[in-house]
Structure 1
Amino acid sequence: YRELRVLRDNFPTVPVIALTATATERVRQDILAQLGMTHAARFIASFNRPNLTYRVSPKRRSFAALVALLRELRDGSAIIYRFSRQNTEKLAADLCERGFNVLPYHAGLEDKERRETQEQFLRDDVPIIVATIAFGMGVDKPNVRLVVHYDLPKTIEGYYQETGRAGRDGAPSECVLFYSYGDKINQEYFINQIEDDAERAHAEEKLAQMVAYGEARTCRRKSLLSYFGEKWQAENCGACDVCLSASEQQDEQDAAHTYDGTEIAQKVLSAVIRTGERFGVNHVVDVLRGSQARRVRQFRHDTLPVHGIARDVAKDDLQDVIDQLSDKGLLARRTSGEYPTLCVTTKGRDFLKKRESLSLVRQAPPQADAAGEPDTVLFAKLRALRQEIATALRVPAYVVFSDESLRQMAIYFPTDHESLLQIKGVGNTKLDQFGDRFLAVIREHAAERGVGSSNPSTTSEHAANGASFAQIRNSHPRAYAQWEPEEDERLVSLFQAGRSLPEIASALGRRPGAIASRLRQAGIAPDYHLSLSETETRTLELARHGLSMAEMAAQRGLSVGTVIAHLERIIETDEVLDLTHLLPPTDRYARIMDAFRAESDDLLKPVKERLGDDYSYEELRLVRLRLRQLSTNTALSSATFDVLSGEKDRE
């Protein structure tokens, strides 16, 4: 708009009106100055959209939460915003697989395709659009009932403008933002590419304001209006996640949402201090839950007194406690390095010294993936058992298990301790107290209905996992059972008798890899390692000759994924192998390596979610192999060591 001053200069007598949609007070002043409108009358309508409900949800299980939101969308349309074109295409495809009528929209599509998509949306032929911010300008569709920001927007102005496409007919509509601190890091990566210092600083400021909005636990409406210079007087807007949660807490029926968080707060703050205030949320959570992740052991945090002191608290719940302690000023996030680290504030240290009490809010459990509906009969049986136990213990029913825990049990049919621990809200303590009684009900019901872990009511992802578990259990019945002392005695006997690995595995009902691992971990044969198969040995030879992934796959007649699986087995057996020529290009390798470091374990899914669809699982698996070589001190060639030396310095 600064270029428009030429119109005022050339046509000084022509009346001028300047109209804006999302201008802040500072921008409005700049517009007046640039256009020379020194005596202009100003008319400012309210930025408040009373029919919109604003919600911010943690970006955990976000796809399941999105599916649930869309299934609740009975009438009207939805717009889902994503940051990149690739992620836009991927999310649209995933939703199509779930049976939704959805199309992608981004600037990379042909003009004709974009026009047709927009027209189909306006005609209600397609009710759901997954789009980048290229979509929506000039679209005045009255019945948009849901706007979802699946990724963090760059500015509050953009966020407000995009949410403003909901409910233009005045009917109640929802605006949901899935917030993750990892999205901030992704945005910062692109901001750092801006060469102009002033422009980069401006972008950083805008992003910081957006992050503050996502992390705040104050009224969303008040935050938005305040940003645009408008005051909101009411204490409770009644239409945002914060105020709705506050209203629920006033209701006696929802008193269970608040609890005495003194002890867990003390544990979290102590863990942050004990780990030196140099690590992020995920690492602190891993230490508290007693994880044996490589990074935990690397810094000897498994020897700290705080290691495992909150092992019965779910990971998501601990992350939420940390968020609340940050909001209350007891914890702070430092961002001086590449990734944010936690530190205890003066207020937090005073809390520990004075042994003050603290109330926290128990977050309502997320709804189960709507694609997998619970077995209603089993759900009723589980609730009856829960009530029986609660009555005997004279405690509220939710103390035993929440409804969400029971709902997930009725979806996924866990039949042993290992699978029951995967259910939200089930930790080791509750497993010991109640697990066997609930498992007995689930097993009995499954037998009556002829349902196993591949229950068709589960989601496609869980059905696939369930089938895999079932196949493993069929061939190795004790694959997921805890090791018993008698088994170790038998393992020693069989090993000393010279029985082969497959023979021992068959005799004990376990997988060969588990047998080899047990031989080492139990000290029975600390130097025992698996041997490579003939096909894995052939892959090793080709890799040592410097062939690329594509060349090895072509020469072997295998998929790239299978070749990587061979490489994983090769590294597992401690074979010496220089992976340098197989790694992604330097810039991509560095970003993947940083993403792994930001996580506290080497699981692929969290890293993939952090990096997005621009990075393939094959790349992630190769970089993870490099990390495993580092962590196990595998002997490397000098060329490999040169590549890694910089990483060790950064570490």
Structure 2
Amino acid sequence: MKNTQFHQHTNSPHPQTSIHHPLHSLLKEHFGFTAFRPLQEEIIRDVLAERDVVALLPTGGGKSLCFQLPALARSGLTIVVSPLIALMKDQVDGLRANGIAATFLNSSLTAQESQARLRGLHQGDYRLLYMAPERLMLPGYLSLLRNFQVNLLAIDEAHCISEWGHDFRPEYRRLVELRDQVPTLPIIALTATATERVQKDIVTLLRLRDPACYVASFNRPNLTYQVQPKDNPFGQVLAFLRKRPKDCGILYCQSRKTTESVAERLQHYGINAQAYHAGLSAEERTRHQELFLRDETQVICATIAFGMGINKPNVRFVIHYDLPKNLESYYQETGRAGRDGLPSECVLLFSAGDTVKQQRFINEKPNLQEQQIANRQLQEMVHYAECATCRRRTLLQYFGEHVESENCGGCDNCLTPRDTFDATEATQTVLSCVEEVCGTSGFSVGLNHIIGVLTGANTEKIRRWGHDRLTSYGKGTAHRRPEWASISRELIRLGYLHQTADPFTVLEVTDQGQHFLQEPKTLMLTKPMSTPERNPSSVEDLGHDEMLFTRLRQLRKTLADEADVPAYVIFSDVALRQMARDYPTNEQEFLQISGVGNRKLQEFGPKFLAVIARHLEDYAPLTIPKESNLSPAPSLGNQTPATNQKDFKNQHDLEGDEETASSERSTISPAQSHGRQDPLSHGQGRRGIGARRVREVREDDQDQRTPLADFFNRPARKRPLGDTVNQTLRYFLAGHSVEQIARERGLVTSTIYGHLEQAIQAGEPVDLSQLWTPEQELEMAAAFEKTGFGNLTGAKELLGNLYDYGQLRLYRVVHGKS
């Protein structure tokens, strides 16, 4: 792939400069490299010729060297503008380690430290000075340009100057004042992510003079790209990490709260993880960063919004727990992986719910133009997540790079192409609906409204505009709302529909779409990414639209206060979560909600349906799996587990915990609950967690436990089991092994053992004779007689680790009561 220039620069010879050492000698002496990476030497020579330069090099492409080496090649001071405090320290530490005099001035320093560094600058002790744009533009610091021999201004993350950039920062706009202060000062602007529009903004807004503009290929051939349905995100991440115990990586999350909760849960499962976000103190961020750099922390859980500039070469994976707001952010964040050139993985967990969250943030922007820009960028991000073609090609084309190959061999779509389906009729239905709505109304509407018309939703706008009388109304019952959303976005990507954002996001049928309506031909579309459906048996595990759930809770509280009754008397949380999952829009659908009878339908139905309808007018529905009624256990046979994208096979490692949490809290002590799942013990040996460490963790928890005797002395009582536990029980009673059941259901064996344990505790008659021989039962009895039923780990070790924890837990449940 050829390197291109977005601005043609002249081929005139470079002016003579005072260079102390040949460039290659400096490269080897201070950085240890024997050769430059593509474009580096050309950029450096233009910088030394005191020419303005714009350099677009991919993350890991060696941008920093383009101003660091010139700082060594001649006398004077290079000022580096960087928005990231962490990156400043990281780069300065690296430069100092290479024997290069560098420092930084930022808010992490004490007043005494800042004064000491300023004295060093006056004495000419430094070659490079890193500063944030806000500090540099303070009147006191502007004098640096006049009092010191500044020979170069390097502006890192230059895309921040453009409103079209993914991380616009108004303070970058003020940097142009430096051109007025010192007109002869050469400038190099660097970034790893900039579309053609952003590239032009950089040149214009910094008033660069006939700049030499270099654009390297954005392709990172050592990175693989995957997008996986976001079904059980923590379980998916945990399964991924367990197979890479020696690899380190970054997990990007949307909120600070998520980074902390995920890091804490990973620590609970024996994985060294730390949170990293702007809400932590400077000391905490520094400590977590240094632990990660020293490979003492395996995973850093960082916020998407807070830039983490850690120049760590051996980051083997980057996982996006939540959807980035645009492709520039995604490209830059995935670019943290594999800077050493070795194979690394980039995984995005995607759900329509994340799109809703991002849309909410966009709608909160006060500036309409900013909303329009953000909407377009979000559309591109969603297109990438949902596309069925080469993801690498989609990513590179977004940045204006021509890609000839249609199969990169390094993304999920190229390695395992998704199935297609005949969408001819569905396409006609969507296009006809858009045409009819626009034709009768005289104005265009958004995707959510079109989906509402297709599915026969009873919203205020549909009634007011008379769209409930259109022939298209209710014609789309063959597909659910999320499916229509996916189909429509695919038609937008293929050019049959056009989605504008000026000033509102609306749909229009394109000329290509018109031609299809006139002369329809078979159109195959990619099936939307799907996830195994599961029907949770507790409130905690019921997937739902959190935003809608909050609205419904607010309405419930208002009604409960008016009636002076507890909130649950109106509707239970389970009912509200089911509403926030199924999106009922009429009385018939509302009656399907658990706990809704005719009386509550008449008394509360209209008010709750109105809230749901208003929500669907504002936001697209989430794609939430919904399981049908369970059928008797089928024959399993000798099947092998199906695989889907390697390790992200929608693992439900935590299903046993989550599905039964609410029902167990009232009947099982913390010790028993901890022992049943036993995640730490289950990982012993397999994840590098030894018996000693497991014992230490358990000893830390001893004071929080209730005696096991309290549990075993409780009378057995039957209580309802969740559907997923019942399904496991039917398989087991039909004679299938634990391993067979786990394979068929896509679960891990520990979860199946947990289901059986729950069934026994609920009073179900379960014959466990198929799990062990009489001799093995005697061995377990002898072991527990020595260790006691409270020491599961001790019993396992005494038995030579020949028994599964699940077997031991089941034995304890059955015989510990006697």
Using structure 2 for the length normalisation, give the TM-score.
0.40
Structure with larger Rg = 2
Give the TM-score normalised by structure 1.
Answer: 0.49
The structure in which a higher percent of residues are helix is 1
